[in-house]
A and B are shown apart, each in its own frame.
Chain A
Amino acid sequence: MSIDVEQYLVEQENKQLLRFITCGSVDDGKSTLIGRLLYESQLIFDDQLAELKSTSKKVGTQGDDIDFALLVDGLAAEMEQGITIDVAYRFFSTDKRKFIVADTPGHEQYTRNMATGASTADVAILLVDARAGLLPQTCRHSYIVNMLGVKNICLAINKMDLVDYSQEVFERIKAEFLEFSADLNFDEIVSIPVSALKGDNIINSSTNTQWYEGDSLIQYLENVKFNTEKEFQAFTFPVQWVNRLSHEFRGFCGLVAEGSISEGDEIVVKPSNKRSNIKKILVADNYSSSCSMGQSVTIELADEIDVSRGNIICHKDSSCDAVDQFQGKLLWMDEEKMVPGRPYIFRFGVAESSGSVSKLRHRININTFVDEASSDLELNEIGIVNIALDKKIVMEPYVDSKSLGSFIVIDKMTNNTVGMGLVNFALRRGDNVYWHNMEINRDSRSESKNQKPVVLWFTGLSGSGKSTIANIVEKKLYNLGKHTMLLDGDNVRHGLNKDLGFTDVDRVENIRRIANVSKLMLDAGLITIVSFIAPFKAERDLAKDLMGADILEVFIDVPIEVAESRDPKGLYKKARSGDLKNFTGIDSPYEKPENPDIHIESDKTSAEDAAELIVNKLIQKEAI
């Protein structure tokens, strides 16, 4: 066999890269299709093929023929280890294009894996079993790929050999899908009758479907237009890293997200709105007069203006803007549910901010597409949410810009990626709430009281002795002439928070409100004593974030048995008998503080001694 390598390499130079995802219900023939594609593109080596042939005879479902499904499932021999539920990436190429296939599992419970695969896909192949027609899973997958902005769908109606290559069956399923997808935003839907098993219309047009005149699957994949640039896309360049070599060289590195730009063009930097012109462009290590979408480049500007990671260099007329409140779609990917009010990190491309879901508007039922009321989002659930960030970030709706409209959610404790989201639109409300810069401020108020404002944040089980100790502390401070305020769980729940119960969601909201009230009291110059169970670390951290250095965490530690034996309000008894639900320590968790500023073991220290210790700590801190 001889190949003209020079010629081959020239052809390869013009190959494009297409990423696609295969989806569909469990038995629609996904593995067989991928196996067939790898086989036909000769990516199965002799050693693998020999093994495949013998395995096919032994355990295959196709008699003496090769069972291609075994190839993919065989590649995934780690099935028992439970990682087949994950996305696998497979590669093959033809003379025209190189393909990366995101191979994702079909089961309903793996929505997050599907979404992961779809996030980088240009095209989706949606498989349908010709005998079964559209299944709920087909619709669910269409919804997700549509949500993630995949514009090109290939509806591969598979197992045509089992319906006698019937044109009628094909046309019926095709029509059903077109009707179903009319509300979705696909640019192009191409339907192809195939048999992955027999090879019909996979590489070449099949003689079994003479009534079909369109492309084979490979022809479709080789020719489909994807990622086509819109007529005018404004240059958008998120700055990833600043390359500083010397005074003479300061280059801004990044991947061009949209549009193109040339030397000399005027740009504006967001969010600072500073303007300059493009001085030079490095594409990899070559100077170039222009650059465009998809290139990793380094840009030098004509003027020395302040630009850092997370800023966006845009075309001069760009309308994109930095906001701190927006509405979006959130897909939750973690076992631990999403609770509104809980602080997370939101990462947009190269920019990030902490923030929280300020409102879960509703959850979307992925089977019926109906909006449902919900107070939290569980693993694999999708919700429409309002998000409030602590810092403004440049963003655009996902439908206009994938790169400025997509974000991930990171858990502050575990650092895991726990959710993915898409921006629907900015909420401008944040701009209308004026933050008055008052002339009389915290310092002047506390100065007049001859004290430094601080929050003593008590946490501990019910019955640990928080209230008793807190009361003594306040008395001692009063006797020292200090101006204090005590916020106690029971009292606040009778007033400000009387609308809240004891579910996880309500507990988070309870603490969020308390933390903000405490913050106002800090600003009033008061020594504020907060005494709540505050069982979750995340919410206590929220309070710490809010208060900065002006908070002391006081952990009143007592074994649950001791607290239960005290049971001053008879609550443990009620919880044990089932009359009281979600009781901390019984059927709701208490997360102990890891590094409290003050740690008191109330079964070993008297309340009086504990209070003395806390007051001494304030003296040390020069708060009083």
Chain B
Amino acid sequence: MSQTHLDTLEAESIHIMREVVATADNPMMLYSVGKDSAVMLHLAMMAFYPNKIPFPLMHVDTTWKFKEMIAFRDKTVSDLDLELIVHINEDGLDKGVGPFSHGSTVHTDVMKTQALKQALDKYTFDIAFGGARRDEEKSRAKERIFSFRTDKHQWDPKNQRPELWNIYNAKKHKGESIRVFPLSNWTELDVWQYIYRESIPIVPLYFSAKRPVVERDGVLILVDDDRLPLNEGETPMMKDVRFRTLGCYPLTGAVESNAKTLQDIIQEMLVSITSEREGRIIDFDSSESMEKKKQGGYF
């Protein structure tokens, strides 16, 4: 019997996770609560079964995440009996940094990128798992599965270690760290098919429901709480919407959709005509934005 492509991807990801646990001093999994994190967590549960996952999960909470994400996160942690570290940039919080007051660039930098660096330094994690995929974005296509960061958390795209066969070089000096992406070779469609095959729970925001939204510059923003300042004459509309990607609610666009089940979502994907990151507002900020953010330490 030959393996299906999902079997192959699953075996590869488990192999990667076990390599990390066998070679790292203090590993951690960045858990963003999204669908990719859900798949990554599911794979980790398998990789170390019947043992518990031998590392903590960490959520960098910008305090602007969708409420449903936080609820889902806490339920998952309790259902699976996981160790979760929630890190908030208290400094940024004290200064009142947010997407409306400071703009998306500053907000993302302070509450996400800087927060992550703080957490890595605080807990001295040497290897951090991330759920990024190579098909997401052009600079990711060249990123290694074991992606090296300097002691200043910087990524040097021109100076990456060659990655041969499935032999991973996790050697580093004190202070340096490695981001490991077990889902590197998965595509968005693979992720959905796998969620379907394995019945992996995901945040309900991925499914269509009537939700209050406002339209800004052609993007539908969910009115998730009363921190969203309404412009003059703007009233929230109830629309059938869902999210293809999750993040900070003011920075994440909804799409109009009637997809209420996984089958619907997959069907929608198959006829979809725009790329997944379209809903991520941070990408619009500047042309080579992702590349820059990553060099600065963004995941």
Contact = CB atoms under 8 A, between A and B. Distances in A.
A45 B275 contact: yes
A483 interface: no
Contacts of B162: 112-113, 116, 333, 408, 417, 420
Nearest to B272: A45
Main secondary structure of the interface of A (DSSP, over half): mixed
Most B C-beta atoms less than 10 A away, residue of A48, A241, A333: A241
A15 B51 contact: no
Contacts of A254: 15, 18
Nearest to A113: B162
Interface stretch (B83-91, B93-101, B165-173, B229-237): B165-173
Interface in B126-183: 134-135, 138-139, 141-142, 157-158, 160-167, 169, 171-173
A596 to B, nearest CB: 20
A253 interface: yes
Contact of A240 (B1, B19, B50): B19
Interface string B1-27: 111111111111011001101100000
Most B C-beta atoms less than 10 A away, residue of A47, A76, A244, A408: A408
A367 to B, nearest CB: 22
Contacts of B209: none
Interface in A280-311: 282, 284-285, 292, 294-296, 298, 309
Contacts, number: 183
B267 interface: yes
A86 interface: yes
A1 B271 contact: yes
Interface stretch (A87-95, A189-197, A370-378): A87-95
B165 A119 contact: yes
Interface residues of B, number: 66
Given A3-B267, A87-B142, A296-B15, A240 B5 contact: no
A83 B157 contact: yes
B18 to A, nearest CB: 5
A77 B15 contact: no
Interface residues of A, number: 73
B46 interface: yes
A294 B266 CA distance: 27
A123 B46 CA distance: 30
B4 A16 contact: yes
B21 A241 contact: yes
Contact of A406 (B6, B167, B196, B291): B167
B138 A240 contact: no
10 contacts: A12-B193, A46-B274, A255-B166, A285-B46, A285-B49, A295-B7, A349-B167, A408-B162, A408-B164, A410-B171
Top 9 closest pairs, chain A to chain B, by CB: A17-B5, A296-B14, A285-B49, A46-B273, A415-B171, A296-B11, A284-B46, A98-B5, A88-B141
Given A243-B48, A296-B11, A408-B164, 20 more contacts: A6-B263, A9-B193, A9-B266, A16-B2, A16-B8, A45-B275, A47-B275, A78-B157, A78-B291, A91-B185, A93-B189, A113-B162, A249-B50, A282-B50, A294-B3, A296-B12, A349-B166, A349-B167, A406-B164, A408-B167
